């Protein structure tokens, strides 16, 4: 049974975005759990969340629905998130520095994956001819997706990683009000991602897209 060419092309186009996205999100969350475990909290470890198995981390909206909507919309930027890894910050040693290190483990992993993907891209000409274009697309998309995830998650809004870092750095009288903003972050993200662009205001282009383009250009120059 032959697969219609249009369907095969659509599946291929979808796969070169979804595969690196799911892998990037999965390892991002696993890195949080691993860092927490090494710093004294084994909650994620006991729940099986320190794992490269995507099924342990998939969030219906953040991992599947939102990336699908962004892909169909053709907005030029694809990202998502997984189920947050449970961390008991009171068990981390030291607690505040532990919070910062656990938060940075996720974006740090994405930066590392972007560099690895770029290095592997150099070896892609040696792939079998029938997989070469597909493999190069996966690796190129992996570079950009990991950079987007890293920069996006470093935005200073809890529960994003940048917000966790800021809460850990600020004095208690400032950290507590910032931590309470967590309940509004999801609404702010939806407004910034969908409502404001309809009005011609693309906040995430300046907050995420511009830094990502700068870092990507810098990496490509250094690594080649």
Q: Average pLDDT by consecutive 10-residue portion of the chain (224 residues)?
A: 59 83 92 96 92 86 75 62 87 93 97 97 86 92 95 93 95 92 87 83 90 95 84
Q: Tell me what pLDDT residue 102 has.
A: 97
Determine the Cα–Cα distance for residues 89 and 49; give it in Å rounded to an integer. 16
Determine the Cα–Cα distance for residues 31 and 27; give it in Å rounded to an integer. 6
Catalytic residues: 29
CB-hemisphere CA count at 13 Å for 164?
A: 22
Q: Token digits for 213?
A: 């383009």
Q: Token digits for 210?
A: 């511009």
Determine the Cα–Cα distance for residues 22 and 11; give it in Å rounded to an integer. 16
């Amino acid at each position: 049974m032959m697969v219609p060419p249009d369907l095969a092309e659509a599946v291929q186009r979808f796969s070169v975005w979804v595969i690196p996205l799911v892998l990037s999100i999965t390892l991002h969350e696993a890195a949080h759990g691993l860092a927490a475990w090494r710093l004294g909290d084994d909650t994620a470890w006991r729940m099986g969340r320190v794992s490269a198995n995507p099924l342990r981390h998939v969030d219906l909206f953040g991992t599947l629905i939102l990336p699908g909507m962004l892909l169909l919309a053709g907005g030029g930027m694809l990202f998502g998130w997984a189920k947050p890894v449970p961390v008991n910050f009171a068990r981390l040693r030291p607690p505040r520095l532990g919070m910062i290190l656990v938060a940075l483990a996720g974006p740090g992993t994405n930066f590392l994956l972007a560099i690895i993907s770029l290095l592997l891209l150099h070896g892609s000409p040696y792939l079998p001819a029938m997989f070469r274009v597909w493999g190069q697309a996966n690796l190129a998309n992996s570079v950009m997706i990991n950079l987007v995830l890293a920069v996006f998650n470093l935005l200073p809004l809890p529960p994003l990683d940048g917000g966790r870092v800021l809460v850990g750095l600020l004095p208690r009288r400032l950290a507590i009000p910032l931590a309470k903003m967590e309940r509004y972050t999801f609404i702010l993200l939806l407004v910034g991602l969908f409502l404001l662009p309809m009005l011609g205001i693309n906040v995430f282009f300046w907050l995420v897209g511009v830094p990502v383009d700068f870092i990507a250009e810098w990496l490509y120059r250094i690594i080649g």
